[in-house]
């Protein structure tokens, strides 16, 4: 998942059965294009995992004008925004009690969560505003 820290909106997500810099690169590219942020001094803060530091990912970031930023080595809680997002996900009333039977079911569940999170969840860190409403205000100039 990729989250805009200003609005808390989930701007990109995917579910795969493996991690890779190629898959991560594709996700970032689609998120930047769908949000119209390419070349606008965007910073992508991530962990130190190999998918985020792989050559394909770093080239994609450079081509998009996205500045990479990485967590400090051996620090598991260096990104409070992603920690908060995943805590909300795990404690959601719709969080499954057992593993998903298929990757397609997992993707459907994440899509449902993202729609709820972006359109209905009130975020305490941004004065209980819903990301969808905040993003609409930014786009309309309010």
pLDDT value of position 105: 96
Of 116 and 136, the structure prediction assigns the larger pLDDT to: 116
Concatenated DSSP letters of 25-85:
HHHHHHHHHHHT-TTS-EEEEE-S-HHHHSHHHHHHHHHHTEEEEEPPTT-TT--HHHHHH
Give the CA radius of gyration of the chain.
Answer: 16
pTM, to two decimals = 0.77
**In the block, residue with structure tokens 């057992």:** 98
Q: Give how far the C-alpha of residue 75 lies from the chain's centroid of Cα atoms, to the nearest Å.
A: 19
Q: What is the DSSP letter of 129?
A: B
- Helix, strand, or coil (residue 43): strand
pLDDT value of position 37: 81
113 has pLDDT over 90: yes
* Residue 44 Cα distances to 83, 90, 132, angstroms: 15, 23, 21
CB 54 within 8 A of CB 21: yes
Of 22 and 102, the structure prediction assigns the larger pLDDT to: 102
Confidence of residue 48 (pLDDT cuts 50, 70, 90): low
What top-level class would CATH report for the domain 2-140?
A: alpha beta
Above pLDDT 90, what percent of the chain? Answer: 23
Of 20 and 48, the structure prediction assigns the larger pLDDT to: 20
Confidence of residue 77 (pLDDT cuts 50, 70, 90): low
Confidence of residue 68 (pLDDT cuts 50, 70, 90): confident
């Amino acid at each position: 998942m990729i989250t805009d820290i200003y609005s808390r909106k989930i701007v990109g997500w995917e579910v795969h059965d493996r991690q890779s810099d190629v898959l991560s690169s594709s996700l970032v590219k689609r998120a930047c294009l769908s949000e119209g942020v390419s070349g606008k001094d965007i910073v992508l803060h991530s962990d130190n995992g190999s998918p985020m530091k792989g050559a394909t990912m770093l080239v994609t970031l450079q081509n998009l004008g996205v500045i990479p930023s990485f967590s400090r080595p051996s620090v598991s809680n260096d990104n409070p925004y992603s920690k908060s997002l995943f805590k909300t996900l795990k404690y959601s009333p719709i969080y499954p009690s057992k593993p998903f039977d298929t990757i397609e079911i997992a993707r459907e569940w994440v899509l449902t969560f993202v729609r709820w999170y972006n359109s209905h969840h009130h975020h305490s860190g941004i004065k209980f505003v819903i990301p969808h409403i905040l993003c609409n205000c930014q786009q309309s100039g309010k």
